[in-house]
Amino acid sequence: MTFEQTFVAEDSDKGERLDRFLANRLEQFSRSRLKDLVKNGSVSSEGSVIVSPNHRIMPGDTFTVRIPDPVDAIPKGEDIPLDIVYEDADLIIINKPAGLVVHPAAGNWTGTLVNALIAHCGEDLSGIGGVRRPGIVHRLDKETSGVMVVAKTDRAHQGLARQFASHGRDGRLDRRYAALVWGIPKRQKDTISAALGRHRTQRTRYDVVREGGKQAITHYTTGRKIIGADGTEVAAEVECRLETGRTHQIRVHMAHIGHPLLGDNLYGSGFLSSEKKLQPEAQQAIRQLNRQALHAKSLKIVHPVSAEEMTFESDLPQEFKTILGLGS
């Protein structure tokens, strides 16, 4: 089904671009989505189709916009259980388990979070860019667990994308991760500012680079210490607050300063023998964890529609608690 809306330009609209004129009146759609509608012949004036997004407005002009229903997403919905922390008409907050890929890609076309959300949300997805699919504004690595937000509508996607693009510098967004790292960082609090890029020879890895990388900033605070079998401090819990969100950022940054994550075979392979220093219960917990010890524990956002400040938290996995000696 297609619905139509008609708008009449006022004196204050004189000289404005058509796509901007429409964006000011159809706030539930992104400007890029409205550009596509114009280019595809969905906007007419006085019976004539206009296909130029930069068509200039004159007072009294009348424009009719035909907006088709969102088309079904190419990924298919799959009945995959979700741990839902919060949900409303515009967004959904989930507690992602380790092992779940966020977005379909080569080697993982099914069984992803996107497949699960398409099935769960169904008709509630109003269409991101005209396609009935969830709006992914940030991702967690496959083996990273914890809280993340996904947009269900185009307007929510726009608002959340702006928050993540500002990297928390305007105070709206705050992301914090719990990481278990080998050794005890020299400073209780510090900031790692080191650009990241692809490893020169191992394309699945990232590395700190001097040229050609992307800016990456991680603020960390050292917390509880992990006591080894001999009574010495062998590892620590570190809270990481992201100012940027690069692939593998925390894993690479902590390895860069000599404190790779427990269980991280990609960036901390040289510390595998250190597991023997842990107490027996912690050693078993690492084997059960079977991944890097990284968990997205909290997320603060400003709701992209209601403007309400919202904070969501995810409890530490049981394996983390066992390694830290916290019990169940």
Residues annotated as catalytic (active site), given as ranges: 141
The torsion angles phi and psi of 99, rounded to 5 degrees, stand at: 95, -10
State how far the Cα of 286 lies from the Cα of 296, in Å rounded to an integer: 18
**In angstroms, rounded to a whole number, what is the distance separating the alpha carbons of residues 84 and 136?**
16
- Quick one: which H or E segment has residue 108? none
Contact 277, 286 (CB under 8 A): no
Report d(CA 250, CA 217) in Å as an integer: 9
Helix-then-strand count for the chain, H and E: 7, 18
* Alpha-carbon distances of 10 from 5, 6, 22, rounded to whole Å: 16, 13, 13
**H-type helices in 40-153, by residue range?**
113-121
Of 89, 82, 91, nearest to 301 (Cα)? 91
How many angstroms separate the CA atoms of 3 and 119, rounded? 25
Buried b (16+ CB within 10 A) or exposed e, 20-37: ebbbeebeebbbebbbbb
Q: Are 61 and 50 in contact (CB under 8 A)?
A: no
